[in-house]
């Protein structure tokens, strides 16, 4: 004890140690002597509650596993008087009331230290515990994350190979390094072809420069790469492809690779071209319609189209591509945007009635308002989902102004209250007054005379047409909500039962606080005007149809540079799609500028005088061919003015009169050109691999391409009508003639398969297809058709049929029950083996109840659950169940099934088998019984050894005590007595060692069964064992080399691995060669992917394997007797390795050393 420090000071110091400490007595119960304040705080148990009590009574273990680990650690310290670090255990503690109560999941790392007295005897055991819950849970999360990452990477690789899309990756510089199988299948390339090849080689020559420019920009900016180009397929055909790529960056943001996809958009391109043609036609119609038309797209109502009248209405202030709320902010405040929202949301059209629209200020500063009738019509897709709004409006300003004048007159009438009644009762309209909620206070007599209703005002809605009541209520409700005037058109029943259209208008009389006091309104008959409006709309539709047939090229340019601001699709087509809005005309169309057209624009812009061109020749570049196209146009350049009358641009309007001019000037040339065009078409047709033909309406062949004569070997030009029957296979003639006659009767096309004889006499299958040409009256003129060689396809179909027959043959030949099921799991086939096994016909066991009649009742629910899980997930199906036997009873079968998937991974069908494993099952049950008996015998032997060693300990201890007392009190006169005493002491020590070793053997077996496997860090673990042998190593100057680079960790039972390494290392030191420094090497290696090799090699005495080889791993076998030992070490090591499913091999040479190889069944990570 240090001077000046009392025992109480030491106790105080111990209790204030930072951490959780528990002081234990090394007795049988490990009695608690004291604990630190940190331990009290963590355990929530006072010192008085635990001091003096056995450890496992004060802190009952949560389970047997934890109890054995703690018991082993404490016993180890008590036996070896060495520090021991316990494996991680879970021990939950009660939460405080403030923490919410209940058990808290906690994980602990405990270390037990031996405290020795001055005589070197074990005096106390100090337990230090550390809460490692957060570290443990973090480690679990890390492992789970690593596992999920590995799974994600595997799935990503699988998707790259399996997805039905084309994928590619490049290095940062754009050089290709991967293309998935879909890409390689499309191009016909091999993966090894990527290196050293330009990615532009498979691209159409016309697209290479543009694609390279887009790629250079994407690389320079690190942005998305997206481009459309034509890619050559393996058969030489070019198809349109949409290629997209995104950069992959490292942690510093640098681009390390590009990842992209390729999508075949050939069919989409064709559809786009068709839609573009229709769109051009529609725009021509809409531009000529005498109405205001616009389209809005999406929930933000983005302007996508606006005809000229609408542009004039807004003064050119609205740009396409801009949301309505941005382009016309007043739509938000005046409620128009709300109406548009409702139409988009409900997909119901809304009729616009006299909608006011403020106009841009005039040059004199005056502001005018126009009014429109029209509709907000939802535009829906094929599924009925709203995609946009069509806005259609007709100017009804004159009518509204007239009604406004009437409203002003009514206001004057209201102000002159004395003359009100007389005046309103003389007006040819209905006057009404309601309170703020719409309850009628007054009707003038005209309404009563019109409707024939009594003067009571309670039933005023009865005369309104039922289809209009709800709408008028909604309009009135909107007026009440906004406290603003409202109007609505509806049908009112006259006294004779006829309904006529009326316009109802109402204005509010507001109180000083802004609330409505009354509504004053009128109803006027607009039936004739409504009929006129409907007639006008019909005429407008007729006019639109007429104008839609007028071909014209229209564009507008702005500013002195003549930058394009608008171009119709026809104009774009005329200029080969080169018009770009915002770009000068001279830059985009240099050949047009060279012909003087831009100079004409300069003149019109400068002089503000229009220019008319008549049959003016125009040569434009054809972007598809690189040549020029010639036109003759009638055109006008019309200056466009702003609100101050300043020229802001030019309207270009042209009509193609090329045909008229050429027809007048070069009729003969046109005839020759038609002949050349016909010849080109003929040559193009004759260059196709298909045989083409033209048949007259009567069925006589008019034309057949040369491929026909090449294939058949007939003389070119010979009559088709005379020889076609000799070419068609005799078995197909009747069917072909019937198809011809049916097509003639119905004036329709045909499609059938037929065999044609080749020039060498062999027949090949062809697909014969034809489409009719009809005149304006629907009468048949001729057929146009082709013959396509489908022989290989036909042979593949036949091969598939034979394959199916072969499958049926195999399924009926194998000894298993074979079955198939649809994608949803419905069984649709059993082979006849089912009848042989169960006595049930396969046809009686199909459909949803396929298994009900076959399976043992106890297996049906389990089988159904596993089968439904497999069918729903598409995973492998495997189960063992019992089938009814035709001889009575049940037999065990192993059922397995695999799904057949398409290229998208969707399950198409299931193929399954059921294998009789009844004999195997019986053998397994017999083996299980024998294993149970062996386990019981082994357990009995272990219990016997454990009991024998335990029961022998006390007599041996007593014998040792008696012998010590005998030595102390007895006097030996015989000279041999001293030698005998030494021999007796050695015998006692040997017996004691043997009993301890037997106990260790049993303890090892129980640890293997009770303790869990742990992931052990080999380096610190082995260093701890080496540290326990430090005294022997220093005495021998031994050197130990550790190399765990191949596998730094090992999944093992910690105490068992400790016993293995301790025995091998201590033996290496014990049997070291005296004439050299001991060198011991411990290392790991991977001989294969499923085996970890742990080696321990020394340069000691070695073992004579020829002499002792068969006895190496037997109990009590020793091969050197100059040092003490029990002969159980190698037996114990071998047994521990075998318990893990491994094997122990040994190489040794006398006086050279020994190499132990431990082969352990561990998978390489």
- The residue to which tokens 């040059």 are assigned: 363
pLDDT of res. 406:
64
| Structure confidence at residue 714 as a pLDDT band (50, 70, 90) | confident
Buried b (16+ CB within 10 A) or exposed e, 868-901: eebbeeeeebebebbbbeeeeebbbbbbebebee
Q: Are residues 316 and 340 in the same domain?
A: yes
- What pLDDT does residue 830 have? 82
Instruction: State how beta strands 1039-1043 and 907-916 pair.
Output: unpaired
| 539 and 608 both lie in a single domain | no
Distances (CA, A) of 550 to 284, 287, 545, 570, 572: 8, 11, 10, 11, 17
For residue 314, is it within any domain? yes
Query: Could you tell me the pLDDT band of residue 765, with boundaries at 50, 70 and 90?
Result: very high
- Span 903-932, mean pLDDT? 81
Predicted pLDDT at 625: 84
* Helix, strand or coil, per DSSP, at residue 687: helix
| 524 and 428 in a common domain | yes
Residues 815, 758 share a domain: no
Please tell me the least confidently modeled range out of 57-66, 414-423, 1014-1023: 414-423
In the listed set 83, 106, 134, which residue is the last one of a domain according to the structure?
134
Place of tokens 């941005």: 326
Q: Is residue 204 part of a domain?
A: yes
What pLDDT does residue 2 have? Answer: 45
Nearest to 522 by CA among 507, 511, 536: 507
Q: What is the DSSP letter of 363?
A: T
DSSP 331: H
Q: Is the pLDDT of residue 695 over 80?
A: yes
Task: Tell me if 272 is assigned to some domain.
Answer: no
Q: Please report the pLDDT score of residue 673 as a whole number.
A: 63
Q: Are residues 17 and 121 in the same domain?
A: yes
Q: Report residue 826 as tokens.
A: 């419905």
What's the pTM? Answer: 0.28
Give the separation between CA 315 and CA 293, rounded to whole angstroms: 15
Both 944 and 1043 in one domain: the answer is no
Rounded distance, CA 222 to CA 242, Å? 19
Mean pLDDT on 185-205: 80
Same domain, 406 and 386: no
Model confidence pLDDT, tens digit, residues 345-385? 998 998 888 888 877 777 777 778 888 888 888 988 878 88
Q: How confident is the model at residue 910 (pLDDT cuts 50, 70, 90)?
A: confident
User: Is residue 1068 classed exposed, middle or buried when 0-12, 13-18 and 19+ CB atoms within 10 A define those classes?
Assistant: buried
Domain CATH code at residue 929: 1.10.287
Answer with the residue of higher pLDDT: 956 or 265.
Answer: 265
Q: Name the band, by pLDDT with cuts 50, 70 and 90, for residue 867.
A: confident
Q: What is the pLDDT of residue 549?
A: 43
Residue with more model confidence, 1165 or 429: 1165
pLDDT at 76: 93
Whether 985 shows a pLDDT value over 70: the answer reads: no
For position 996, what pLDDT does the model report?
60
For CA atoms 1027, 1031, 1034, 1039, give the dihedral sign. negative
pLDDT bucket at 25, cuts 50 / 70 / 90: very high
Phi, psi of 272 (to 5 degrees): -60, -40
Q: 1020-1028 long-range CB contacts below 8 Å, 24 or more apart?
A: 1021/1054, 1021/1057, 1021/1058, 1021/1061, 1022/1061, 1022/1082, 1024/85, 1025/1058, 1025/1061, 1025/1062, 1025/1065, 1026/1065, 1028/80, 1028/82, 1028/1062
Which phi-psi region, left, alpha or beta, contains residue 860 (left: φ > 0; alpha: ψ -120 to 50)?
alpha
Least confident residue range of 31-35, 65-69, 194-198: 194-198
For the cut 80, the answer to whether the pLDDT of residue 529 exceeds it is: no
**Which segments of 942-1029 are extended strands (E)?**
1014-1017
995 vs 782, higher pLDDT: 782
Is residue 1007 within 8 A of residue 1056, CB to CB? The reply is: yes
- Is 546's pLDDT higher than 50? no
Q: Please indicate whether residue 409 or residue 25 has the higher confidence score (pLDDT).
A: 25
Percent of the residues in the chain that have a pLDDT greater than 70, as a whole number: 78
Which whole number is the average pLDDT over 326-340?
84
To the nearest whole number, what is the mean pLDDT of the chain? 80
| Cβ atoms of 634 and 614 closer than 8 Å | yes
Q: How far apart are CA 572 and CA 280, in angstroms?
A: 10
**Choice between 653 and 997, residue whose per-residue pLDDT is larger:** 653
Residue 770 inside a domain? The answer is yes
Q: Considering only CA atoms, which of 883, 882, 909, 885 is closest in space to residue 897?
A: 909
Phi, psi dihedrals of residue 889, rounded to the nearest 5°: 80, -165
What pLDDT score was predicted for residue 827?
83
- 298/369 same-domain check: yes
| Residue at 156 is within a domain | yes
Distance (Å, whole) CA 89 – CA 610 = 96
Q: Could you give the number of structural domains in the chain?
A: 9
Q: Quick check: 1108 pLDDT over 80?
A: no
pLDDT above 90 for 194: no
**Could you tell me if 823 and 908 are in contact, meaning their C-beta atoms sit under 8 angstroms apart?**
yes
Q: Is the pLDDT of residue 7 over 60?
A: no
* pLDDT at 408 exceeding the cut of 80: no
Question: 732-748: buried (b, 16+ CB within 10 Å) or exposed (e) per residue?
Answer: beeebeebeeebbeeee
Same domain as 310, residue 209 = no
Mean pLDDT across the stretch 1135-1152?
86
- Model confidence band, residue 543 (pLDDT cutoffs 50, 70, 90): very low
**Domain endpoint, select from 768, 789, 810:** 789
pLDDT (average), residues 565-583:
87
Pair (723, 861) in one structural domain: no
What value does the mean pLDDT take over residues 239-251? 86
| CA–CA gap between residue 228 and residue 871 (Å, rounded) | 40
**Residue 104 sits in a domain of what CATH number?**
3.30.450.20
Extract the tokens encoding 210.
Answer: 């543009």
Segment among 157-166, 387-396, 617-626, 808-817 with least mean pLDDT: 157-166
pLDDT band at 109 (very low <50, low <70, confident <90, very high): confident
Q: Does 271 fall in a domain?
A: no
> What are all long-range contacts of 521-524, with beta carbons under 8 Å and residues at least 24 apart?
521/431, 521/432, 521/433, 521/434, 522/406, 522/407, 522/410, 522/427, 522/429, 522/430, 522/431, 522/432, 523/429, 523/430, 523/432, 523/447, 523/492, 524/403, 524/406, 524/429, 524/430
Rounded percentage of the chain residues whose pLDDT exceeds 90 = 15
Distances in whole angstroms, Cα of residue 344 to Cα of each of 289, 691, 1002: 24, 52, 82
Query: Does position 219 have pLDDT exceeding 70, yes or no?
Result: yes
679 in any annotated domain: no
Out of 234, 264, 294, pick the residue that ends a domain: 264
Do the Cβ atoms of 461 and 438 come closer than 8 Å?
no
**Structural domain for 290, as ranges:** 282-395
Pair (1028, 1154) in one structural domain = yes
Q: How confident is the model at residue 183 (pLDDT cuts 50, 70, 90)?
A: confident
Do 241 and 291 share a domain, yes or no?
Answer: no
Residue 806 inside a domain? The answer is: yes
Residue 57 has pLDDT above 70, yes or no: yes
Is 244:267 a contact under the CB 8 Å cutoff?
A: no
**Mean pLDDT, to the nearest integer, of 169-178?**
81
Residue 269 has pLDDT above 60, yes or no: yes
């Amino acid at each position: 004890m240090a001077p000046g420090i009392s025992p109480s000071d030491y106790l105080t110091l111990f209790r204030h140690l930072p951490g959780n400490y528990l002081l234990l007595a090394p007795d049988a119960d490990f009695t608690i002597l004291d604990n630190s304040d940190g331990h009290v705080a963590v355990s929530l148990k006072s010192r008085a509650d635990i001091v003096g009590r056995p450890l496992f009574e004060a802190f009952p273990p949560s389970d047997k596993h934890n109890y054995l680990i703690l018991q082993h650690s404490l016993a180890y310290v008590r036996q070896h008087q060495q520090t021991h670090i316990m494996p991680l255990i879970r021990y939950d503690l009660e939460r405080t009331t403030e923490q919410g109560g209940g058990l808290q999941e906690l994980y602990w790392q405990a270390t037990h230290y031996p405290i020795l007295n001055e005589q070197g005897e074990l005096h106390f055991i100090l337990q230090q515990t550390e809460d490692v819950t957060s570290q443990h849970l973090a480690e679990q999360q890390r492992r789970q994350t690593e596992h999920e990452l590995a799974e994600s990477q595997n799935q990503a690789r699988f998707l790259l190979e399996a997805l039905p899309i084309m994928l590619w990756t490049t290095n940062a510089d754009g050089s290709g390094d991967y293309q998935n199988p879909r890409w390689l299948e499309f191009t016909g390339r091999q993966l090894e072809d990527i290196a050293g090849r330009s990615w532009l080689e498979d691209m159409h020559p016309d697209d290479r420069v543009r694609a390279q420019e887009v790629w250079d920009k994407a690389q320079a900016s690190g942005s998305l790469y997206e481009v459309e180009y034509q890619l050559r397929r393996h058969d030489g055909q070019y198809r349109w492809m949409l290629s997209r790529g995104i950069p992959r960056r490292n942690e510093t943001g640098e681009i390390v690779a590009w990842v992209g996809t390729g999508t075949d958009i050939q069919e989409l391109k064709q559809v786009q071209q068709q839609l573009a043609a229709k769109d051009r036609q529609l725009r021509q119609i809409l531009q000529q319609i005498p109405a205001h038309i616009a389209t809005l797209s999406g929930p933000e109502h983005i302007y996508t189209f606006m005809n000229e009248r609408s542009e004039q209405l807004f003064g050119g202030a609205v740009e396409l591509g801009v949301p309505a709320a941005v382009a016309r902010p007043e739509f938000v405040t005046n409620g128009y945007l709300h109406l548009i929202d409702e139409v988009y949301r409900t997909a119901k059209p809304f009729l616009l009635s006299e909608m006011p629209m403020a106009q841009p200020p005039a040059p004199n500063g005056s502001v005018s308002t126009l009014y429109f009738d029209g509709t907000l019509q939802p535009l829906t897709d094929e599924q009925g989902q709203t995609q946009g709004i069509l806005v259609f409006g007709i100017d009804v300003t004159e009518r509204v102004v007239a009604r406004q004048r009437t409203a002003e007159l009514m206001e004057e009438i209201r102000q002159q209250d004395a003359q009100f009644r007389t005046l309103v009762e003389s007006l040819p309209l209905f006057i009404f007054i309601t309170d703020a909620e719409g309850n009628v206070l007054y009707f003038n007599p005209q309404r009563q005379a019109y409707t024939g209703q009594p003067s009571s005002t309670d039933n005023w809605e009865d005369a309104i047409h039922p289809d209009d009541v709800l709408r008028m209520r909604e309009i009135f409700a909107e007026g009440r909500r906004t406290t603003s005037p409202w109007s609505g058109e509806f049908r009112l029943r006259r006294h004779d039962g006829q309904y006529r259209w009326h316009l109802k208008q109402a204005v509010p009389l507001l109180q000083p606080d802004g609330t409505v006091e009354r509504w004053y309104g009128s109803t006027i008959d607009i039936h004739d005007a409504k009929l006129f409006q409907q007639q006008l709309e019909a005429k407008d539709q007729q006019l639109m149809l007429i104008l839609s047939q007028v071909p014209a090229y229209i564009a507008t340019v702005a500013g002195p540079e003549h930058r394009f601001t608008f171009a119709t699709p026809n104009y774009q087509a005329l200029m080969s799609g080169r018009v770009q809005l915002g770009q000068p005309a001279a830059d985009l169309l240099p050949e047009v500028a060279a012909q003087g057209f831009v100079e004409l624009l300069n003149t019109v812009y400068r002089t503000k005088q229009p220019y008319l061109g008549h049959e003016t020749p125009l040569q434009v570049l054809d972007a598809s061919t690189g040549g020029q196209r010639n036109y003759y146009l009638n055109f006008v350049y019309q200056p466009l003015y702003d609100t101050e009358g300043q020229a802001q641009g030019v309207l270009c309007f042209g009509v193609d009169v090329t045909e008229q001019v050429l027809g007048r000037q070069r009729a003969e040339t046109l005839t020759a050109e038609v002949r050349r065009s016909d010849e080109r078409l003929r040559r193009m047709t004759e260059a196709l691999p298909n045989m083409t033909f033209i048949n007259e309406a009567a069925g006589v062949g008019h034309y057949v391409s040369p491929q026909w004569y090449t294939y058949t070997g007939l003389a070119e030009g010979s009559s088709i009508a005379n020889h076609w029957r000799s070419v068609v296979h005799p078995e197909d003639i009747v069917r072909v003639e019937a198809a011809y006659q049916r097509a003639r009767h119905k004036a329709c096309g045909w499609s059938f398969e037929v065999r044609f004889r080749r020039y060498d006499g062999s027949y090949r299958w062809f697909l014969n297809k034809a489409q009719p040409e009809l005149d304006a009256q629907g009468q048949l003129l001729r057929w146009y058709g082709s013959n396509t060689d489908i022989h290989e396809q036909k042979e593949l179909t036949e091969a598939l049929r034979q394959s199916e027959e072969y499958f049926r043959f195999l399924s009926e030949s194998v000894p298993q029950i074979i079955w198939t099921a649809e994608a949803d799991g419905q069984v649709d086939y059993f082979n006849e083996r089912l009848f042989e096994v169960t006595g049930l016909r396969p046809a009686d066991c199909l459909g949803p109840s396929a298994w009900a009649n076959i399976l043992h009742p106890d297996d049906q629910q389990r089988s159904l659950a596993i089968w439904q899980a497999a069918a729903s997930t598409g995973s492998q199906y495997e189960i063992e169940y019992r089938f009814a036997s035709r001889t009575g009873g049940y037999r065990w079968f192993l059922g397995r099934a695999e799904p057949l998937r398409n290229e998208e991974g969707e399950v198409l069908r299931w193929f399954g088998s059921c294998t009789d494993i009844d004999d195997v099952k019986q053998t397994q049950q017999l083996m299980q019984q024998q294993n149970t008996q062996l386990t019981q015998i082994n357990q009995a032997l272990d219990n016997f050894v454990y009991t024998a060693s335990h029961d022998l300990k006390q007599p041996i201890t007593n014998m040792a005590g008696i012998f010590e007392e005998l030595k102390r009190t007895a006097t030996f006169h015989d000279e041999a007595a001293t030698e005998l005493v030494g021999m007796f002491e050695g015998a006692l020590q040997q017996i004691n060692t043997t009993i301890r070793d037997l106990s260790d053997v049993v303890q090892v077996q129980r640890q293997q069964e009770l303790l869990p496997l742990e992931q052990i860090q080999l380096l610190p673990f082995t260093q701890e064992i080496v540290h326990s042998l430090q005294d022997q190593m220093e005495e021998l100057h031994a050197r130990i080399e550790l190399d765990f680079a191949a596998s730094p960790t090992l999944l093992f039972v910690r105490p068992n691995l400790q016993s293995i390494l301790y025995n091998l290392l201590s033996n290496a030191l014990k049997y070291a060669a005296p004439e050299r420094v001991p060198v011991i090497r411990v290392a790991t290696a991977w001989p294969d992917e499923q085996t970890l090799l742990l080696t321990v090699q020394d340069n000691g005495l070695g073992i004579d394997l020829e002499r002792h080889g068969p006895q190496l791993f037997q109990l009590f076998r020793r091969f050197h007797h100059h040092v003490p030992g029990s002969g159980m070490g190698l037996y114990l090591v071998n047994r521990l390795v075998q318990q893990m499913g491994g094997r122990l091999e040994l190489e040794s040479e006398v006086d050279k050393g020994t190499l132990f190889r431990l082969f352990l069944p561990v998978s390489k990570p």
